[in-house]
Structures are given as C-alpha cells and as structure tokens.
Amino acid sequence: MISAAFTDLYELTMAQGYLVHGMDRPAVFEAFFRHHPFGGGYSVFAGLGPLLEDLENLRFLPEDLAYLEGRGIFSADFLSFLEAFRFRGDLWSVPEGEVVFPREPLIRVRGGLVECQLVEGLLLNRVNFQSLVATKTARVCHAAKGGRIMEFGLRRAQGPDGANSATRASYVGGAVGTSNVLGARLFGIPAMGTMAHSWIMAFPSEREAFEAYADLYPDATVFLVDTYDTLASGVPNALAAGRRLAERGKRFGIRLDSGDIQYLAEESRKMLDAAGFRDSFIVASNDLDEEIIEALTAAGVPVDIWGVGTRLVTGGSDSAFSGVYKLAAVDRGGGMESAMKFSDNPDKSTEPGVKEVYRIYDEAGQARADVLAAEGETLEPGVPRTFHHPALDTRRFRMTPCGEIRPLLAKAMEGGKRLGPPPPLAEARDRCKTELGRFDPTYRRLLNPHVYKVSITDAVRDLKASFLERYRAGT
C-alpha cells in the first residue's frame, strides 16, 4: 500500500491552511489531459484499478507523522487530522481501456477540498503513466497489423513499479503477454519468454543448446537463432532441433534479435517452409517501436510475434502523459459554484464547471464526436443540437444524434469505497480493442491522424462566456 505521504509538500501546507481558515468545504476536481502522446490521434485510459485500491487504503503511517512533526511547520491539530485522514470522496471515471481525447474529464473527484487536493499527485501519477503505456501499446499493436506483441521491458523500465505497472498497462493496450514473471502473477497476464544468448554460449554448441531447451520445454520452444550466424548456423540448428520436436507432435518458433529483420525473416521463413515447418512462427525483437514495426509490416515481413521492450514500457521519446487535475467546482461558503482556470495560453484554460462526457455514434456504430455537457445535462437521440469547438468561438456544428449516445463517466467510488470488485483486466483489454474498432481508421493512423472532435454544448459554452465576461471585467 502506498502511503498518503506520497504527495507534494505544498498539498500539505495548503491543507493545513484550508483547515485553519475553515475552507475545507465540498469541491469537485476533474482530471483531463491536453494532448495525445506520440503525435497520435487517440489515447487509451489505464491505471484506474491500482488508483482505487490506493485510495481505499490511503493513510499516513506513523513514520510519516513523525517525519512531518519534525518539519516544525505543522500543528498538533493538523497532525491529528492527518493521522485520522482517510479518503472519503466520491469518484467517477471512464473505464480502463477506454479510448479518450484531450479536454474531456477522465476522472471526477467530489469530496472535501483538502482530501481532493491531497490525492492529486497520486491520482495523476497512477493514470498518467499507465495511460502512456496503454496508448503506446495500442499504437504498436496497430502497427503489427494482427501480429502479436509481447512486453519485454523489465530491465529498462523506470524502477520495479515502472516495470510492473507497464506490464499491466501494456496488456490493457493489447499486448498478449509479458516476460515479467512478477507482473504476470500480480495481474493475471500470460508470462512468456524464449532463451538468452548466454544459454547458447553456455553449451558446447548451438545445436546442443537448442536440443537441451526443446527437450525441457517441448510446448514452448523459441530458438534464438542469431548468436553465431542466423542463416548459416542458427536456422539450420533450429530445423534440426525442430525435427525432434515435430516427432513429438510439437511446433516451435525462432527469434531474430539482431540484423535486418526483414531480410532475415524472409530468408528464415523460406528455410522453415522448405523444411516442412509451415506451422512454425517467427519472433522479432531488438529496439522496436511502432514506427519500425509499421515499416516492416507494410513491407510484408513474415513476423508473427514482436517482442517490444524499452520503448513500450517507458514511452520512448515521449516519456510522460500530459494529465492534469483541476478544480471544476467549489463551495466557497454559499453553495457549490462552478470554477474555471484562465490562462493567457487558451490551450491551458479549462472548461468550466462539472461536466459529463458523451460519445456520439452514427447509425453504423462509428464514433462521430465526443461532447462535454454540463453536469446532469443529457443528449437525446433524434433531437438536433449545436455543438461548439471548445476554444474557437467561430467553429460549431449542428447535428441530430441518431445512433448510440454513450456516457463515458461512471461512478466507481462512493464515500471512499469502491462500488463492486475490480473488473478483470481482460475486460479493459477487450474494451480497448472493441472501442478502437469503432473509430474510422483515419483517426488511428500513427502519423498525422485525423483530429477527432471534442465539442461543448450550449450550456458549457454559455457558462464559459459568463466566466469570460466576469474575468474581463476584472472580478
């Protein structure tokens, strides 16, 4: 369990201030993000399960309290408050594996101002990282065009939890399994593996190494064929060892871990087929990401399984998801009022108030637009509506939703308790796959994708205009 001291110091100094000034009144915060990572056209939400578990068990440990007391800035009253602190708020969220877009609330937290603030860092930490990895994996799976993805990143991940959380999130995003045994056990994900070069080097010959492995693991043998010379030695030895497996009715694979994957995969495939092993499979690994895999699959490379490590579990060149957590409404003493954050950069202003998110589908079941509505506002099929661009006053469109209208947020926690047991992780994985399939392929393109519409209703637009008016008037 993570300690409640996993928070930024200013959350604690502000919390003490709010309590001293009697300001710990009801508030609503929303978590959303500003832009897709990897220059993509969609993101995949993940990390909710671990977050809910953390929140349900959140408390300050005796060591934390002793440490904070020693800082000399916290009163005995405040330390007692922290000692008794439990998260008692309500929480709504989009489900894990959901396809999500910038500006829309992914999580809504309603509680006292202090508890809402104290969980900010933990909440963002959990969902930012896992959403980054789930999104990356969905992109890699897209590039693999039906080829399977194994997560291989333990040794290059950002710390042990960076590895385990990435194992979890990559499964949500579409990986079929992981090399990480602990992660596989914790999250019920298939554990997979082949052999290392050191195995082959530890035997007198490559052939003996292959045969020893195949004898021990006849149901899960993948020969690593590049230790000496892939085509001159590795594949021929795999064929020899594979014949012994075939006699026992078993199939096998080979793994390419260096050199030109396209050339070696094509040549290996020919050799495997010529030897009658049409049911054998080819695994490729070695510093892969979605761009490299897409280039290879576009060229028709005969690879069945891709082992992806570093760039899958860390995000590679984009190492963080841009999630933020902002005040949507607060009771300043006279009842709940909507809040809005302004910024000179329009991109950094928030949509005001507590919001609903609806996804509108056409009659063929394809997603057409997401709409941010005011709290409690609903959309009716068959009723024409005007939707506005959230930042540009001049852009709007009128439409009559005539397919499914799906609310994305659902209540997941009430009074600090989860509503029901955590759903199986495979459900999130299935959702990701199914929901991505309901978007036009142009939105799923890896580079320069079509930009999916996230719009606001008249009600949100009007609320925004009233804030803007007051802001300009300087009040």
Sort residue 145 into left (φ over 0), alpha (ψ -120 to 50) or beta: left
- Interface residue with a copy of itself, options 32, 87, 101, 129 (CB under 8 A): 129
- Give 362's contacts (C-beta < 8 A, 6+ positions apart): 368, 402, 403
Name residue, tokens 């998801």: 321
Q: Is 220 in the site for a copy of itself (CB under 8 A)?
A: yes
Strand partners, 357: 372
Give min distance, CB of 332 to a copy of itself, in A: 8
Selected range binding a copy of itself among 95-103, 341-349, 399-407, 425-433, rule: CB under 8 A? 341-349
User: Which helix H or strand E contains 298, and what residues bound it?
Assistant: helix 290-298
Mask of contacts with a copy of itself, 49-78, x by CB under 8 A? Answer: --------------xx--xx--x-x-----
Residue among 99, 116, 96 nearest 424 (CA): 96
Q: Is 285 in the site for a copy of itself (CB under 8 A)?
A: no
Site for a copy of itself in 152-181 (CB under 8 A): 152, 154-166, 179-181
User: Which helix H or strand E contains 50, and what residues bound it?
Assistant: helix 48-56
Task: State which residue, 109 or 367, has the beta carbon closest to a copy of itself.
Answer: 109
Contact 83, 68 (CB under 8 A): no
Q: Is 327 in the site for a copy of itself (CB under 8 A)?
A: yes
Residue among 412, 319, 448 nearest 56 (CA): 412
Q: How far is Cα of residue 50 from the mean position of the Cα atoms in its chain?
A: 12
Q: Is 419 in the site for a copy of itself (CB under 8 A)?
A: no
Tell me, by CB under 8 A, how many residues bind a copy of itself: 96
Give min distance, CB of 154 to a copy of itself, in A: 5
Site for a copy of itself in 225-284 (CB under 8 A): 258-259
Contact 204, 228 (CB under 8 A): no
Selected range binding a copy of itself among 291-299, 321-329, 402-410, 459-467, rule: CB under 8 A? 321-329
Q: What is the rounded distance in angstroms from the CA atom of residue 308 to the CA atom of residue 314?
A: 11
Selected range binding a copy of itself among 20-28, 298-306, 392-400, 460-468, rule: CB under 8 A? 20-28
- Interface residue with a copy of itself, options 124, 144, 283, 413 (CB under 8 A): 124
Site for a copy of itself in 291-320 (CB under 8 A): 310-311, 314-320
Contact 131, 44 (CB under 8 A): yes
Task: State which residue, 136 or 388, has the beta carbon closest to a copy of itself.
Answer: 136
Q: Is 397 in the site for a copy of itself (CB under 8 A)?
A: no
Q: Is 193 in the site for a copy of itself (CB under 8 A)?
A: yes
Q: What is the rounded distance in angstroms from the CA atom of residue 124 to the CA atom of residue 51?
A: 9
Give min distance, CB of 308 to a copy of itself, in A: 13
Q: Is 13 in the site for a copy of itself (CB under 8 A)?
A: yes
Residue among 236, 17, 250 nearest 117 (CA): 17
Give the phi and the psi of residue 177 in degrees, each rounded to 5: 180, -175
- Interface residue with a copy of itself, options 43, 93, 125, 349 (CB under 8 A): 125
